[in-house]
Structures are given as C-alpha cells and as structure tokens.
Amino acid sequence: MSEATHPANVVIVDHPLVQHKLSRLRDAATSTAGFRRLAREISLLLAYEATRDLKLEDVEIETPLERITGKHLSGKKLCFVSILRAGNGILDGMLDLVPSARVGHIGLFRDPATLRPVEYYCKLPDDIEARDCIVVDPMLATGHSAVAAIDSLKRAGAGTIIFVCLLAAPEGVACLAAAHPDVKIITCAVDRELDDHGYIRPGLGDAGDRLFGTK
C-alpha cells in the first residue's frame, strides 16, 4: 500500500491485483456483470486492508498432530455500513471475508435546491457502539454523503470508523478529512479532480448505474 503525496488519513491500496482490476472497472467496455464481479473481487481485497489492525488473542487448539497456541480475533466486533444504493455493490465481497460481521444501511439523497445530502433511511445494529465500523461506498466524490453517513454513525455512538471506497477525488478526501479527521480512508486511487457535474475524473462513471445496469 502507499500513502505518498496524500494526507496521512488516506491509504492507497496499490497491490497489483487491485490496480489490474481497477483498470478493468474503469474500462467503458466492461459489462454490467463484469463490473459487478470485479467490484466484489476488489472489495474483498480492500476489506483485507481495512481489517489489518483487528486485535488478536491467544487460543489453545488441537491440530491433527499436536496442541498449539493459535490466534483468534478478540475485542470489538465488526459492522459494515453500506451507503445506499451503490455501497451494496462492494458490501458482498467484504462479507465473503468476514461473514459474521453485522450490516447497517444508510440511505441518502441529494436535495436539488441545496445540493446537500438528506437521510431517508438508517438501520444500524443495536450495539453499534461496541463495534468497529467500516463504511462502504464505491465513490468518494464531493465527500458530502460520506460525511453525513459518518455523522449519523457517531450520533448513534459508533467509535472507530473506517471509510472504504473504490475511487476518491481530492475534493472528497479534503471534505471528509476536515469533518472527521479521525476516520481513515482506504481506496484504490485518488483521481485527478471532480468535473462540473460532480463526477470523478478520469473515474469510472456512475458506479451505481454500472453496478445495477441503470442510467
């Protein structure tokens, strides 16, 4: 992974498999089915990085040959929080890696007058304050939706929060870092800029549309 030239709270996952799959995601010729499959594969690899600092404890186990001291996860448990709708496109790959994790959903839409996110749905585990939260959304563009979702999580009592996305724009990174400097951002790349329509450039288009085959 790499953090060079980016803020300290940003981790770029530059593993060759991630970068290879990201290039295929960017390709306009990639089909909906192919895009969905690649997003799931990349999300599993991103989840590997997002869970790097989980605590371990010793446990005694019997192998087929002898008794040893192994390692199990200890302490807080995980919750993946998907920002609807596109977040669901990278949620499944993370659940492949950590199938016991709880799942929360936060639905947001952009008010056409203020251009600010408005929450229309929020469902979180009752014990959210006892869980490490990994928020997932394919794109960190303006950063406003990510900030609003994390605001909701913190109001609910969440403590440790990590934000995971496929792509980020410098504007989104700056917005999220300013509002929540304690939240680590894990992504495959920070692209050049946002255009006048709020799309990440060069980007990969609208992740939700490409995941679900909509326009």
- Ordered by where they begin, the domains of the chain are 10-212 (3.40.50.2020)
**Is 36 among the catalytic positions?**
no
| Distance separating alpha carbons of residues 17 and 213, to the nearest angstrom | 25
Closest to 184 (Cα-Cα) out of 150, 145, 157:
150
**Is 110 among the catalytic positions?**
yes
- The reply to whether 110 sits in an annotated binding site is yes
CA 24 to chain CA centroid, nearest Å: 19
Q: What is the pLDDT of residues 139-183, one digit of tens each?
A: 999 999 999 999 999 999 998 999 999 999 999 999 999 999 999
pLDDT value at residue 107: 94
HSE-up (13 A, CA, CB side) for residue 170 = 8
